[in-house]
């Protein structure tokens, strides 16, 4: 006759087995629902292209359509681990846990659609590899929302932004400082006052590598004016940082700098010593220096990607799509065991062009890899008059980007226009940058008046 304890053990085993079976069913149902929803929305959007829904744009130049097009190419949609397991948090290690299913491959329900885009670019959401665990017909799609910084499953851990300081009365308005690593005190005083009058709360400034001292006065004036300094550690053409990173961070940390941007536009050849962009190499280089920033009490900036090709004019052959680069480099940081550093990382954003909400695309990529958001701080942005764009049109686009800030997403910290001044502020020798500045040798940009009036 079985003992009471053996009966209880058997009952517990049955309960666990039933619970696991129910969880497996929930996994399959969730994966099928998500795949159907994504595919349905993508097919609708792609179909609208052929119906003249937006005839003013072309498939080859509109990045929104390029990002949708990948769904018309593959025969299956691959989902990352955290989506296939809706009740689990994102992985804390690079390797999947032994007791969790592999990534889910969802067979496409509809025939492949032909696209004039040709071969689709790699999308960060399709990078995970794994054997199929889902088969059979897909249910009707339903809406799966991402709210309050949670992962796509709605059950991942929320993003905690409390570790990322904000200026008092933060309005999200940013400006990139003069593009040189040192200015005289009178220049600093003049343009800090101008920044205040425009309601600026974030200023990105250049620092010559790990050198200390050149920006002391500027940082002191910015923090004294209630402006959050964001320090970009400049190196020529993306070359590796030399010197004592921790000493630099401690020095400027004592003066009020908390945000340190590491490297610039690593998806461009020009920022890789002329070599092809390499997400894995960037991730390794960035992580090594980011660990030093964190160890010294700072917050490392990731990315600062150029929104190219497609959004920025003059993209060179061999430059890498920013969304693809972001997805692959973040995945490599995770593979290298950098999750602890990512907890204190912010994403540096270059919102150039009229697509000043590129942050939304970046957030989708980040969530696809990490299952949560990263804070995004604009460090460059803008659009400038030229052959096809008038000064009034450029002014209105930038003004609208600033006007959006009061309703911005919680992960979107600042929009930062490039640049406040060049020649009048002892700036770069390249006079071509003068037309991009707010304060020019021939007078102020109309954007200045808008910002002052609406401050």
Question: Residues 138-194: pLDDT tens digits?
Answer: 222 222 233 333 333 222 455 689 889 999 999 999 999 999 999 999 999 999 999
Q: Is the pLDDT of residue 92 over 70?
A: no
Residue with tokens 């958001």: 373
Residue 112 has what pLDDT?
26
Q: Is the pLDDT of residue 123 over 70?
A: no
Q: Is the pLDDT of residue 90 over 80?
A: no
CA gap 247, 263 in Å, rounded: 18
Residue 354 has what pLDDT?
85
Residue 394 has what pLDDT?
96
Window from 116-125, 203-212, 354-363 with minimum mean pLDDT: 116-125
Q: Does the model's pTM come out above 0.85?
A: no
Using pLDDT thresholds of 50, 70 and 90, give the confidence band for residue 78.
very low
**Higher pLDDT pick, 379 / 22:** 379
418-449: b or e for each residue (b if 16 or more CB lie within 10 Å)? bbbbbbbbebbeeeebbebbbbbeeeebbbbe
**CA dihedral (53, 59, 61, 62) positive or negative:** positive
Window from 56-65, 135-144, 299-308, 403-412 with minimum mean pLDDT: 135-144
Query: In the chain, what are the domain boundaries?
Result: 4-126, 173-453
Window from 107-116, 204-213, 334-343 with minimum mean pLDDT: 107-116
Half-sphere exposure of 63 (CA within 13 A, CB side): 21
- Summary mean pLDDT of the chain: 75
| Extended beta strands in 368-434, E state | 376-382, 412-417
Token pair recorded at residue 308: 């190219």
Using only C-alpha atoms, the chain has a radius of gyration, in whole angstroms, of 24
CA gap 277, 271 in Å, rounded: 8
Window from 117-121, 195-199, 238-242, 306-310 with minimum mean pLDDT: 117-121
Segment 17-67, tens digit of pLDDT: 555 555 556 555 555 555 555 555 555 444 444 444 333 333 333 333 333
**Higher pLDDT pick, 136 / 296:** 296
Residue 32 has what pLDDT?
58
**H-assigned helices in 85-139:** none
Beta-strand relationship, 376-382 and 412-417:
parallel
| Extended beta strands in 259-390, E state | 259-262, 299-305, 346-352, 376-382
Task: Give the mean pLDDT of 433-440.
Answer: 93
Using pLDDT thresholds of 50, 70 and 90, give the confidence band for residue 316.
low
**What torsion do the CA atoms of 120, 123, 125, 128 make, to the nearest 10 degrees?**
80
Using pLDDT thresholds of 50, 70 and 90, give the confidence band for residue 353.
confident
Angle subtended by helix axes 391-404 and 446-453, to nearest 10:
30
Segment 242-274, tens digit of pLDDT: 999 999 999 999 999 999 999 999 999 999 998
Counted residue by residue, the chain has a size of 455
Window from 80-89, 242-251, 344-353 with minimum mean pLDDT: 80-89
* Short-list 332, 326, 333, 368, CA closest to 347: 326
Q: Which CATH class is domain 173-453?
A: alpha beta
* Short-list 71, 78, 73, CA closest to 40: 71
Pair 280, 332: CB distance under 8 Å: yes
Pair 204, 261: CB distance under 8 Å: yes
Residue with tokens 């088969």: 135
Report how far apart the first and last C-alpha atoms of the chain are (Å, whole number).
83
Residue 346 has what pLDDT?
98
Segment 104-122, tens digit of pLDDT: 333 333 322 222 222 223 2
Q: What DSSP assignment string belongs to 24-78?
A: HHHHHHHHHHHHHHHHHHHHHHHHHHTTTTTTTS-TTT-HHHHHHHGGGS-SEEE
Pair 359, 349: CB distance under 8 Å: yes
Q: Is the pLDDT of residue 137 over 50?
A: no
> In percent, how much of the chain has pLDDT > 70?
63
**Higher pLDDT pick, 355 / 353:** 353
Residue 34 has what pLDDT?
55
Beta pairing partners, 106: 77
Q: Is the pLDDT of residue 365 over 60?
A: yes
């Amino acid at each position: 006759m079985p003992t009471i304890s053996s009966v209880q053990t058997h009952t517990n085993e049955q309960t666990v087995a039933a619970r696991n079976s129910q969880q497996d069913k929930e996994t399959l149902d969730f994966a099928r629902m998500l795949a159907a929803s994504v595919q349905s929305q993508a097919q609708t959007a792609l179909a609208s292209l052929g119906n003249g829904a937006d005839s003013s744009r072309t498939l080859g130049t509109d990045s929104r359509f390029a990002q949708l097009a990948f769904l018309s190419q593959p025969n299956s949609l691959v989902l990352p681990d955290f989506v296939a397991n809706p009740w689990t948090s994102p992985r804390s290690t690079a390797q999947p846990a032994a007791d969790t299913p592999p990534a889910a491959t969802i067979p496409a329900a509809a025939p492949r659609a032909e696209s004039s885009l040709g071969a689709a670019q790699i999308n960060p959401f399709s990078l995970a590899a794994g054997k199929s665990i889902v088969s059979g017909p897909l249910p009707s799609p339903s809406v799966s929302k991402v709210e309050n910084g949670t992962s796509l499953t709605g059950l991942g851990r929320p993003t905690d932004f409390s570790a990322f300081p904000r200026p008092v009365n933060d309005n999200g308005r940013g400006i990139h400082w003069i593009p040189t690593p040192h200015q005289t005190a009178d220049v600093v005083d003049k343009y800090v006052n101008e920044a205040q009058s425009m309601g600026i709360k974030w200023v990105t400034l250049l620092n010559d590598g790990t050198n200390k001292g050149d920006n002391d006065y500027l940082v002191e004036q910015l923090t004294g004016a209630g402006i959050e300094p964001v320090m970009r550690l400049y190196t020529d053409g993306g070359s590796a940082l030399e010197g004592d990173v921790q000493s630099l961070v401690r020095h400027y940390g004592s003066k009020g700098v908390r945000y340190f941007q590491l490297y610039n536009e690593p998806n461009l050849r020009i920022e890789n010593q002329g070599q092809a962009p390499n997400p894995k190499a960037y991730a390794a280089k960035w992580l090594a220096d980011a660990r030093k920033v964190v160890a010294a009490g700072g917050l490392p900036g990731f990315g600062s990607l150029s929104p190219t090709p497609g959004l920025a004019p003059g993209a060179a052959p061999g430059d890498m799509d920013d969304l693809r680069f972001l997805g692959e480099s973040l995945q490599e940081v995770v593979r290298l065991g950098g999750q602890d550093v990512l907890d204190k990382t912010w994403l540096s954003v270059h919102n150039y062009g009229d697509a000043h909400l590129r942050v939304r695309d970046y957030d989708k990529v980040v969530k696809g890899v990490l299952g949560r958001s990263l804070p995004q701080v604009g460090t460059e942005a803008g659009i400038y008059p030229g052959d096809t764009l008038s000064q009034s049109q450029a002014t209105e686009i930038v003004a609208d980007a600033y006007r959006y800030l009061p309703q911005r997403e919680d992960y979107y910290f600042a929009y930062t226009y490039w640049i406040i001044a060049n020649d009048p502020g002892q700036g770069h020798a390249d006079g071509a940058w003068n037309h991009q500045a707010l304060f020019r040798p021939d007078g102020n940009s109309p954007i200045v008046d808008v910002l002052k009036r609406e401050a």
